[in-house]
A and B are shown apart, each in its own frame.
Chain A
Amino acid sequence: KQEVTQIPAALSVPEGENLVLNCSFTDSAIYNLQWFRQDPGKGLTSLLLIQSSQREQTSGRLNASLDKSSGRSTLYIAASQPGDSATYLCAVRPDTGANSKLTFGKGITLSVRP
């Protein structure tokens, strides 16, 4: 059974700092990995999707990397801003079967202090 872990559960940083959020998964047979942002009481916004054959994806100040063999992904946020405060979730899609259901971690709640 796939398990996705995100540690720590919460993180507080001063504005302007570059930071890295970690995600690990137990089964390397994944099709892709997605990073999402969730604001309190809201739905999920997809930030980046990395296919299993890719090493990284970039969007603006965000860069996500994937090391499939070691079961790890990181989300790098450059020059953090208070508006980046949210919960960040990673999710993996299995490489087997037709079902593309996602398995999520519990998320990392980020607070960026002005």
Chain B
Amino acid sequence: DTGVSQDPRHKITKRGQNVTFRCDPISEHNRLYWYRQTLGQGPEFLTYFQNEAQLEKSRLLSDRFSAERPKGSFSTLEIQRTEQGDSAMYLCASSFLGIDPYNEQFFGPGTRLTVL
């Protein structure tokens, strides 16, 4: 298993365009999280899934943001009508809620979004 992967690693877009990011979690992990990190700050929680169900969304996730996890495997995060304030690193993490009592989260390399 190669860990959590994210695609693309970098995305440059113009203001007003839509962008979509993909996250592939570690196999068999049933929980998947999205976080956003701006320069000089720690990551902030956006949303999480347990299997295919989106169980919580942060107030940071405006109506321009939508996340899906069809079939409980990979997840996509879409941002519509991007704004310069959306420029950040978008991090995905996965964990296994079940046998592992720690439910440790493992992070991917992130997608760096720059909105011009």
Total B residues in contact with A, Cβ cutoff 8 Å: 31
Pick the contact of A102: B41, B45, B108 (CB < 8 A): B45
Q: How far is the CA of A33 from the CA of B21 in the complex (A)?
A: 28
Contact with B along A91-113 (1 / 0, CB 8 A): 10100001111111111000000
Residues of B within 8 Å of A4, CB to CB, are 42
Q: How far is the CA of A61 from the CA of B34 in the complex (A)?
A: 31
Chain B residue with the shortest CB-CB distance to A90: B42
Q: Do residues B45 and A101 form an inter-chain contact, with CB atoms below 8 A?
A: yes
- B110 interface residue per 8 A CB criterion: yes
Pick the contact of A104: B6, B44, B50, B102 (CB < 8 A): B44
Chain B positions within 8 Å of A, measured between CB atoms, are 4, 6, 31, 33, 35, 40-45, 48, 50, 55-56, 89, 91, 93, 95, 97, 101-110, 112
